[in-house]
Structure 1
Amino acid sequence: MNAHPPELLHLGAADIARLLPPEAAADAIVAALRGGLDPEECPPRTQVPVPAGQLLLMPAAAGGHAGVKIAGVAPANPARGLPRITGGYLLLDGRTLVPLALLDGAALTALRTPAVSAVALRHLAAHDTRHAVIFGAGPQAYGHLEAVLAERPLTRVTVVSRRTESAEALAAHARALGPDARAGTPGDVAGADLVLCCTTAREPLFDGRLVPDHATVIAVGSHEPHVRETDTVLVRRSAVYVEARTAARREAGDIVVPETEGAVGRDHTRGTLAELVTGRSGPTAGCPQLFKSVGMAWEDLVVAAAVHSAATTGRGRET
């Protein structure tokens, strides 16, 4: 007798936000890493140039599921009032490869990237972190603000953006969530406990000499080897952590550029996310902690599976 495949769930941005809060997404990442998932074995993303920008293909399989994200990166979209990141995620049963769910790719990305940062922050940022400086005012900046507030008791937020109105809007949103917040300048990193880089910048955003030794810096905005948000000075000063060494060497310009310049060696990276989670690595005293992520397919898979589980078991945020 032929089995009937399950009905394909369609989970939009509102569904994803309702079903899985940032801290639950971070917990799913931690559980996968503690369960033995090895990010070093994750397939690399495929990048295809197209007239509007790039198409990114990101497949992965682990933990009873498989999946693939097809993401579009359209740099001109924000000027049209459209999201820069588009696309969808197809979640499959790992044993049969039967499709289970189709998720909004932009919403999934906006959830999983802050979740990964939150996991790094749990292990690297001081518990008394109070002042965060956020570079950028797009979806990732909003997502990171919510994720960080779930992990650390921020009392002050400074937003740095090329567009004053965007910075003011995010600052107003932050104030509504509790912390005092305002628009600022790159020099405000001198008083930061936490610096979040969530931009499309192709050159360093601030002077790395200004970052205090006790601060944690999280950079998520780029996945190209010649593009970076942090400068060589900061990388050289910092204890550096990444999602996976293989991915960082391919795509993390923040690290690749200083290595190419000869400013740091290939052994400069102190640890990976998996090593932090499993206790094989930890923060280094006396210098800034820098976590650089490029976004990996296993992260999308883990968070998509958690969203699907919440949808099919009736779990989700309280409303």
Structure 2
Amino acid sequence: MKLLLDAKPTVYQAIDALRAALAGGLDPEADPARVVAAVPAGQLLLMPSSGEGFAGVKLASVAPGNPERGLPRIQGHYLLLDGTTLSPLALLDGIAITAVRTAAVSAVAADVLARPEASRLVVFGTGPQAHSHVAALRAVRPVRELVVVGRDPARTRAFAAEYAELSARTGTPDDVAEADLVACCTTARTPLFDGALLPEHATVVAVGSHEPEAREVDDTTVARSTVVVEAVTAGLREAGDVVLAVRSGALAEEDIVPLADLVAGRVPVPAGPRLFKSVGMAWEDLVVAAATYRGLP
């Protein structure tokens, strides 16, 4: 078995691999459900998957108190196996894979949902996923303006300062009124902005939670939007943005669109705002881990 803890997939590798997997017939609905075990310090997550000649499992920990200790909130590793023999092939950095694959899935969705000329991006959050989403969305759309909305003014200013080439600035939730793209990359449990402000052409990606009682977007955003998910079963099980909207009547289950249907061209993209809600699934980790492994010399 190879130790590949320094192997970092690129966002372009991840986007291409995920898009190809979905276009090639991969069925996200076949993925086993995420196993979540509560422990005193937080959660342990176990995410197995198999396909395309490989199998694999990610073990991740979520410790909400870690940022105050100067440690990552999420940590973990990925074990890649041969799909036929289940022999271990490689141990990879699970958090590097998570950071890239989460943003890459958002980029795959944005590439089919956002208008081609989308150039104004509003990002909520200042952590690793916010950075990853800026890079991934720039890979599929000509982003030229960036607005950063964060809770900590100093961190928000520092984040914006890293993107001088995008005329980046700090902003407020009301800046979604001028957005082409909105990326919600936070640990928020209540909506970040008023969905009535979204332009008709806007595309929103929300990735911050896999808990059914937490949400980053409100019922107005959901009711106005075409709602796209990685898998309908996972969305109805884990995505608070979806679960709570269905519960309130703002969204009907039969109106939820699987991402694979859009990527494969089986359904058109309707007019109006579009929302992609991601919870992160094991098949995404496997696809990116396998692409990383195949790309090694």
For residues 136 and 209 of structure 1, the distance between their equivalents in structure 2, rounded to whole angstroms, comes to 21
For residues 41 and 267 of structure 2, the distance between their equivalents in structure 1, rounded to whole angstroms, comes to 41
The equivalent residue for 1:9 is 2
The equivalent residue for 1:293 is 278
* 192, 201, 211: which one aligns with 1:205: 192
- Is 2:12 aligned against 1:23? yes
For residues 28 and 163 of structure 2, the distance between their equivalents in structure 1, rounded to whole angstroms, comes to 33
Aligned-residue offset at 1:306: 0.4
- Is 2:212 aligned against 1:219? no
TM-score, scaled relative to structure 2: 0.98
How do 1:145-294 and structure 2 match up within 5 A? Answer: 145-175=134-164, 178-269=165-256, 271-285=257-271, 287-294=272-279
The CA RMSD measured in Å over matched residues stands at 1.0
Q: Partner letter of residue 295 of structure 1?
A: G
Moved over 3 A (4+): none
The equivalent residue for 1:107 is 96
How do 1:43-192 and structure 2 match up within 5 A? Answer: 43-175=32-164, 178-192=165-179
User: What are the Cα deviations for residues 81-105 of structure 1, in whole angstroms up to 9, with x where unaligned?
Assistant: 1111101110000011111111111
Q: Partner letter of residue 132 of structure 2?
A: G
For residues 162 and 84 of structure 1, the distance between their equivalents in structure 2, rounded to whole angstroms, comes to 17
The equivalent residue for 1:317 is none
Which runs of 5 or more structure 2 residues have no equivalent in the other structure?
none
| Residues paired across the two proteins, number | 297
For residues 259 and 251 of structure 2, the distance between their equivalents in structure 1, rounded to whole angstroms, comes to 20
For residues 126 and 268 of structure 1, the distance between their equivalents in structure 2, rounded to whole angstroms, comes to 21
For residues 251 and 166 of structure 2, the distance between their equivalents in structure 1, rounded to whole angstroms, comes to 37
The equivalent residue for 1:5 is none
Q: Give 3-state SS (helix, strand or coil) of 1:190's partner.
A: helix
User: What are the Cα deviations for residues 58-88 of structure 1, in whole angstroms up to 9, with x where unaligned?
Assistant: 0000000000000101111111111111011
Identity, % of aligned pairs? Answer: 57
Which runs of 5 or more structure 1 residues have no equivalent in the other structure?
1-7, 315-319
For residues 34 and 67 of structure 1, the distance between their equivalents in structure 2, rounded to whole angstroms, comes to 21
For residues 295 and 107 of structure 1, the distance between their equivalents in structure 2, rounded to whole angstroms, comes to 14
Q: Partner letter of residue 90 of structure 1?
A: L
Q: Partner letter of residue 277 of structure 1?
A: V
Q: Give 3-state SS (helix, strand or coil) of 1:205's partner.
A: coil
* 278, 293, 297: which one aligns with 1:308: 293
User: What are the Cα deviations for residues 130-161 of structure 1, in whole angstroms up to 9, with x where unaligned?
Assistant: 11000001010010111111111111100001
Q: Partner letter of residue 310 of structure 1?
A: G
User: What are the Cα deviations for residues 212-249 of structure 1, in whole angstroms up to 9, with x where unaligned?
Assistant: 11100000011011111000011001111110111101
For residues 255 and 243 of structure 2, the distance between their equivalents in structure 1, rounded to whole angstroms, comes to 11
Aligned-residue offset at 1:33: 1.5
Q: Give 3-state SS (helix, strand or coil) of 2:289's partner.
A: helix
Q: Partner letter of residue 289 of structure 1?
A: R
